[in-house]
Amino acid sequence: MSASFSIRPLRPADAPAYRDLRLEALQSSPEAFGSSYEEEAPLPLETIQARIPVSGPNAIFGAFAADTLVGMAGFAVYERVKARHKGVMWGVFVTPEWRRQRVGKALVRQVIDHASRHVIMLEAAVGLTNERARRTYHDLGFKPYGIEHKAIRIGEVFHDEELLYLDLQKPEGA
Ligand SMILES: CC(C)(COP(=O)(O)OP(=O)(O)OC[C@H]1O[C@@H](n2cnc3c(N)ncnc32)[C@H](O)[C@@H]1OP(=O)(O)O)[C@@H](O)C(=O)NCCC(=O)NCCS
């Protein structure tokens, strides 16, 4: 059976569902995100809502099964003039019941497609031991260019991250 879901950019009205899924992500996979549950759980809904881009190139894509948000992936462009050709993919998460059904890949593909219209370099960082996410990103063309040692600290445990890039610039004449 192939599961049915659709992907679209989140809108301000999605804020409650976005907050729920984001907090689930931070709680269940703390080593996969730079932010923490403790930092985000107390934030008022308006703050979360204000983080959903409504114009410009930045976006948070949501995967919906019927009307339920089951996955998400963010995209943001660097703000400084000399870095505006680069963007970063962030906050990739699929709720456990929906994993292994290609939702993650579809979300990452959506970010890549969207990014290719706004930047020429797309960056991402992934836990070095996070085989599922690494495989997803590598399969879709991301190349590792380094390791950030002790990138994330949770209590007394440090986690290394693999740094990735995807060159979106078409070769001349292509
Ligand atoms: C990483 C994550 C987003 C993948 O989502 P998903 O919807 O399960 O991914 P897909 O079904 O599209 O699978 C993508 C690839 O990951 C690999 N993969 C997925 N689940 C796997 C598993 N249980 N075991 C081994 N490989 C797995 C496969 O290579 C798969 O590609 P394939 O099916 O074409 O072989 C999801 O596992 C997740 O949310 N994890 C917790 C949060 C996280 O780690 N986020 C990434 C932060 S950088």
3-class SS of residue 124: strand
CA angle (101, 103, 105) in 5-degree steps: 105
CA of 83 from ligand 1 middle (Å) equals 30
CA of 99 from ligand 1 middle (Å) equals 6
CA of 100 from ligand 1 middle (Å) equals 6
Give the class (CATH, top level) of 6-167. Answer: alpha beta
CA of 146 from ligand 1 middle (Å) equals 21
Closest residue to atom 26 of ligand 1, CA basis:
132
Which sequence spans correspond to the domains of the chain? 6-167
User: What is residue 170's predicted lDDT score, i.e. its pLDDT?
Assistant: 75
Phi, psi of 23 (to 5 degrees): -70, -35
Distances (CA, A) of 8 to 46, 59, 67, 90, 169: 21, 10, 12, 16, 24
Closest residue to atom 48 of ligand 1, CA basis:
126
Closest residue to atom 20 of ligand 1, CA basis:
100
Q: Are 152 and 161 in contact (CB under 8 A)?
A: yes
Phi, psi of 117 (to 5 degrees): -90, -5
Six token digits for residue 171: 């070769």
* Separation of first and last alpha carbons in the chain: 38
User: What is residue 2's predicted lDDT score, i.e. its pLDDT?
Assistant: 58
The parts of the chain modelled with pLDDT lower than 50 are 1
User: What is residue 142's predicted lDDT score, i.e. its pLDDT?
Assistant: 98
CA of 135 from ligand 1 middle (Å) equals 7
CA 164 to chain centre: 13
**What residues line ligand 1, using a CB cutoff of 6 Å?**
29, 32, 92-94, 99-105, 126, 130, 132-133, 135-136, 139
Ligand 1 nearest atom to the CA of residue 28, by list position: 41
User: What is residue 173's predicted lDDT score, i.e. its pLDDT?
Assistant: 65
Q: Which residues contact 162 (CB under 8 A, 6 or more apart)?
A: 125, 126, 127, 128, 134, 144, 146, 147
User: What is residue 58's predicted lDDT score, i.e. its pLDDT?
Assistant: 98
CA of 127 from ligand 1 middle (Å) equals 13
How large is the C-alpha radius of gyration of the chain?
Answer: 16
Evaluate if pTM is beyond 0.85. Answer: yes
Q: Are 72 and 104 in contact (CB under 8 A)?
A: no
Six token digits for residue 14: 């999605």
